[in-house]
Amino acid sequence: TVATNYAQEAMEDVKNMDFEKIAPTSKSVINANRKYRIDVNVSLESTNLKKVFTVVSWKNRNGITKTVETSMLVHFTEVFASEPAKIVLFTESYSILNSPISSEYASTKLTAVIKDIKGNTIIDWGEEPDEGNISFSIISTDKFGTLSDDVVTPIDGRAYTTFTSNESMSGIFGINIIEASVTLPNGNVVTDTITIKITNGPVKIKLEAVPLTIKASTTNYSTITASLIDAAGKTLMKKDIFTDVEITFSVFGEGNLSTYTITIPFDSGNEDPASDIIILNSTGNPGLASVVATAADLESGKIDVRFLGPPVAISISANPNPMYFDEAYSTITVSLLDINGFNTNPTDAPITISLALTDYDTGGSLEEPSSWEFPVSNSEGGIKETKFSGQSSTGKAIITASGGGLPEATVTINVISELVPDHIKLTASPQNVKADGLELSTIKATVYDISGKIVTNYTGTISFIKTPDIGTFSDYHFANGVATVKLSSSVAGTATITASSSDGLDCVPAEIVVGFYGVP
């Protein structure tokens, strides 16, 4: 009951966090003379979706490790912001190398965002006279690093700085707390902090699985390798991990583990990898098995293994779809799916899947082969491809896939009029880069038609302009309706980028701002 309560409390804490602040954590608590460790593992499923696993572990009176596990998905949708209410600080990496400082892994980029009470970004911050700069500071007594910028003018409600090790940390690891603050229009000063770990020792557990995909059967298994890695992602030797590391494993879904606890020993003279293996056995049921590994003071690791079932459906798709009248072809992709939607192969006997054009007022035909045998296999299912081409008019082409006693599947290709340029979409990635003359922002201008299709046969020209004339353009490339150019600068500041075409297409947005922030 105590462990379950801790797991529920950890999940409630996650629910109340800003989306950017949801990150892996590990902490220990004492209750009735028993020590509980609470580990939160986070995986980014998409830009606005995170999967969170919580594992509470403890040892019973016999010294056996026990666990309570729970998981959830966190989805964030940003809308128009109301009044500014808080600042949120987060970073690319919460652990960095102590040395050498020349390594890119001895620094981390910090982002501070001004938000309303519901977590929406104040993208127009700075338009009012009382909306000022964001300040950054290291508030720890012992400072094991430096900040590239202490005061930063936000762009679109965001400000950036870089924290870099100064190589002064002399122990196993050091901790620095960094604060971001801003004064709101009502006069209130709001702050947020993050904690950075500085060490050349282990910071995370890395999990690898062989195979990643296999048929569900009680005789099938995947070998899981757990390794201790540093902030650069390098697997350490046993002589470099400072102390014995006990790892606790949990499994979510259709798997059982050969053991739930291992210890990787510290050995001052041993140059073997700080790694060990366990076995993930299939339960016999098809589905996903997520293995989570936790250890004190380390970021947890996670890996997913798919245990496949027999085919229950045919998947068929076409790309592009819709296709334009003057496009050469659309690629038809066919595979077999199990009950969970995973690509699979037959279990007992081969299955032959055949395609047929059942309705096509567009004209055209399927290239050969348009029929395939999917063999019996213990591994992930194969994907077969052919092409639909030769269309002579607009309309619809319906392709049916059938065979193996499975339900028929169809895809309808819409053949529409030829490409007509309508507008340009302008983007920059990333929008904020170091002013070191090396880090690059990729500026891209893409020509679209009115339906949102890229005009791959565009014959006009695209030009880029930056105002003021800060930084340097390089590596211009234009093909298939997409123009790109690289932008770098050795001077801090901002550049406003515009794109124009030879035939005067509208550009959306009309301009985009790229920021260059200082380096130590």
Host H or E run for residue 17? none
Domains of the chain from N-terminus onward: 2-75 (2.20.130), 84-198 (2.60.40.10), 204-308 (2.60.40.10), 313-416 (2.60.40.10), 423-517 (2.60.40.10)
Q: What is the largest CA-CA distance in the chain?
A: 79
User: Which residues does residue 402 pair with via DSSP β-bridges, in sequence order?
Assistant: 354
Note if the pTM is more than 0.75. Answer: yes
CB 332 within 8 A of CB 425: no
- pLDDT tens, position by position, for the chain (520 residues)? 799 999 999 999 999 899 999 999 988 999 988 899 999 999 988 888 999 999 999 988 888 888 999 999 999 887 788 899 999 999 999 999 999 999 999 999 999 999 999 999 998 898 888 899 999 999 999 999 999 999 999 988 999 999 999 999 998 999 999 999 999 999 999 999 999 999 999 999 999 999 999 999 999 999 999 999 999 999 999 999 999 999 999 999 999 999 999 999 999 999 999 999 999 999 999 999 999 999 999 999 999 999 999 999 999 999 989 888 878 899 999 999 999 999 999 999 999 999 999 988 899 999 999 999 999 999 888 899 999 999 989 999 999 999 999 999 999 999 987 778 999 999 998 888 888 888 899 999 999 988 888 888 788 999 999 998 889 999 999 988 999 999 999 888 899 999 999 999 999 999 999 988 876 5
303: Cβ contacts below 8 Å, ≥ 6 apart: 207, 208, 209, 212, 224, 290, 291
Q: Pick from 428, 425, 445: which is nearest to 487 by CA?
A: 428
Q: Each residue of 25-52: pLDDT tens digit?
A: 988 999 988 899 999 999 988 888 999 9
The pLDDT, as a whole number, for residue 458 is: 87
475: Cβ contacts below 8 Å, ≥ 6 apart: 484, 485, 486
Q: Pick from 46, 13, 37: which is nearest to 293 by CA?
A: 37
CA dist 343 and 213 (Å) reads: 10
Given strand 275-282, what is the order of strands in its sheet? 204-210, 221-229, 275-282, 255-257
Q: Is 116 exposed, middle or buried (0-12, 13-18, 19+ CB in 10 A)?
A: middle
Question: Tokens in use for 282?
Answer: 């299939």
Please measure the distance between the N-terminal and C-terminal CA atoms of the chain and give it in whole angstroms: 50
Host H or E run for residue 14? helix 2-15
